[in-house]
Amino acid sequence: MNYPYPSDPAAPRSLGDLSRLHANLAADLDGAAERGELVAYFQPQIDLATGRVVAAEALCRWWHPRLGMVSPGVFIAIAEQSDVIHEVGAFMLEESCSFLEETSKNGHSLEVAINVSPAQLTSTGVLDYLAPRIESGALDPQKITLEVTETIEIVDLGLAAAQLNAMRAIGLGVSLDDYGAGHSSATQLGALPVTEVKIDRSLVQGDSEDSRTQVAEVIDLARERGLRVVAEGVENSEQNEYVVGAGCERAQGFLLGRPMNLSKFDRYLTGWLAEA
């Protein structure tokens, strides 16, 4: 596990230091949302047929008061080992709903993708937050997709499927993220009520025959099941041309737009529309 700022005097020098840093970060993360240290960033998704910005993936960032930005790969893993993941998840649900509200006010009809952890699939927190807002008409469920990462281990697949089926019942979309990166793709795709697959960046960026074969297989399988296909990790024009030609419907990546806060996202939309 890579921790940020290894040049910092407090950076881990041994396994003992690493363990203490892990414990300290876990303690610091508790209450981070209330202290205003968590920030929601949004990475645009582009409709490859029209070139329009149609959605954004909501991504959490943690600005630690001493360390600066702590990598999501570090603090999300720490949060998932405790109940703090529910605090982080609740924050991202609220920020994602604010994103939909604010972009709608500015005349943009967009969707948002929200990452959901295995721990969140063992409780009713996500449903408890979204269902009343959908029932009251404050939220359009068609504009929300919940992302479950294919590479994570879901201990109770049956319970996760039940939770996701309940979410699908109120109109929410379900995406299997990082598809093709792990070994449980087929199992999860068959067990979960998926409406979309996101092809892992390793396959999108790979130029080997094996990578291209896997991408073609994913797209064929998705078409058979009527699922939308999103390519993630598009970082150059060659990769963009490839995913367009392969038949992906949507794409995201640094070439198309980096993750940004809400105010920058609004300016990004204005610039994107001006160039369209």
Predicted local confidence at residue 233, as pLDDT:
96
29/26 Cα distance (integer angstroms)? 5
Question: Encoding tokens for residue 274?
Answer: 């001006």
Structural domains of the chain, ranges and CATH numbers in brackets: 37-275 (3.20.20.450)
DSSP 71: P
Q: What is the pLDDT of residue 182?
A: 61
How large is the average pLDDT for residues 130-159?
86
Distance CA 96, CA 144 (A): 9
Tens of pLDDT, residues 180-236: 776 555 666 777 899 999 999 999 999 888 889 989 998 998 999 999 999 999 999
List the one residue out of 95, 30, 39 whose CA is nearest residue 68: 39
Helices and strands in the chain: count of H runs, count of E runs? 10, 9
Tell me the C-alpha distance between 238 and 108, whole Å. 29
Percent of the chain with pLDDT over 70: 87
Residue 58 class from Cβ within 10 Å (0-12 exposed, 13-18 middle, 19+ buried)? buried
Quick count: other Cβ atoms within 10 Å of Cβ 21?
Answer: 17
State residue 236 phi and psi, 5-degree precision: -150, 170
pTM of the shown model: 0.90
To which residue do tokens 């999103």 refer?
Answer: 230
pLDDT band at 5 (very low <50, low <70, confident <90, very high): very low
* pLDDT band at residue 82 under the 50/70/90 scheme: confident
Q: What is the mean pLDDT of residues 59-68?
A: 95
